[in-house]
Amino acid sequence: MFCLNNDGVYERATPHAVSDMPAISRMPAGAYRVVNIEHGSVTFATLEPSAEPVFFLDTPEMRMVRREVEAFFDPATTARLLAAGLKHRRGIILHGPPGTGKTSMVRQLIPLLVERDAVILVDCRANHLERTIIPAIRRGDPDRPIVLFFDDLSTSAWSDSSEFLQLLDELTSPEHLLTIGCTSYFKAVPVELRNRPSLFGLTLRIRRLPDGVHERLAEQKYPTLSPADRQFAVRLTQDLPIDYLEEACKLFLMGYDPDEVRDRLHTTMLAGSVGRRRRR
């Protein structure tokens, strides 16, 4: 049983724990972050959807990702793996420069994952997943689909590389598991992970946003901006990552004029280029 407190936090207590909080038999489908693990008890905080509207990317890459996710939930695929004695697992890596829409693609998937009754775990430490976190969700609900999402897969995989491999590759590791990772530094993902198609069957490089995306994003997310300000922001950032377009639109909403927006973005770009040179 899970206990639910007034802050929307679900706690899988130990079998002998006593609580006066309302209890439910299984976690609702949705996105969660693990906030505490102590003495066999796991606490999950619900991640509320962002107040910002989801920007829909109807691109060939997005369609490929959606097909891969739908294949994970296909009963025929699950049956074939079971008949062959294989674990029901699947993985997706999205990589490419910052601001090319990788996280937006994942945000688009959340309604589909929730519709399929999945529990989505965001940026969990791999060393706790197999032994504690996943068993807490699966106790009494053994076939529950679980989606692991890592916003920075390279950092997560390096910090817990051995646990990550064990989680995805051992005979005793959990199944009904879909892993989705985003990274701007693909080569930083351990080679043992990125060269295993059976673990990450779709490894997709997102090079740049398609033409017209900047215009559509500015119209969809910032409809209160004047057409002139939106067009200026689009022209200013057309060949830049989409994060710069969002910054330009927000600066207009804050009351800056076009010259000030240009100057502030130019300063930010210079600072970013210096930081990148230092990291090389």
Q: What is the pLDDT of residues 84-120, one digit of tens each?
A: 988 899 999 999 888 788 888 898 899 999 999 999 9
Are 31 and 101 in the same domain? no
Please tell me the total count of domains within the chain. 3
Verify that 17 and 80 share a domain, yes or no: no
State the residue range of the domain holding 28. Answer: 2-46
Assess whether 83 and 133 both reside in one domain: yes
Q: Which two tokens stand for residue 197?
A: 């198609």
Shared-domain flag, residues 87 and 150: yes
Give a yes or no: residue 108 inside a domain: yes
124 domain-assigned: yes
Residue-level pLDDT at 275:
39
What CA–CA distance (Å, rounded) separates 104 from 91?
Answer: 18
Does residue 236 fall inside a structural domain? yes
Q: Give all strands of the β-sheet with 146-150 in edge-to-edge order.
A: 23-24, 2-4, 9-12, 41-46, 30-38, 119-122, 146-150, 177-183, 89-95, 202-205
Domain presence at residue 36: yes
Say if residue 171 is in the same domain as residue 242: no
For residues 134 and 177, membership in a common domain is answered with yes
pLDDT tens digits, 216-231:
888 888 999 999 999 9
Task: Report yes or no on 51 lying in a domain.
Answer: no
Give 271's pLDDT tier (boundaries 50, 70, 90). low
162 against 22, higher pLDDT:
162
Q: Is the pLDDT of residue 267 over 90?
A: no
Higher pLDDT, 175 or 276: 175
Average of pLDDT values for 269-276?
Answer: 50
- Position with higher pLDDT, 144 vs 1: 144
Task: Evaluate if residue 144 carries a pLDDT over 80.
Answer: yes
Q: Are 56 and 144 in contact (CB under 8 A)?
A: no
Does 1 have pLDDT greater than 90? no
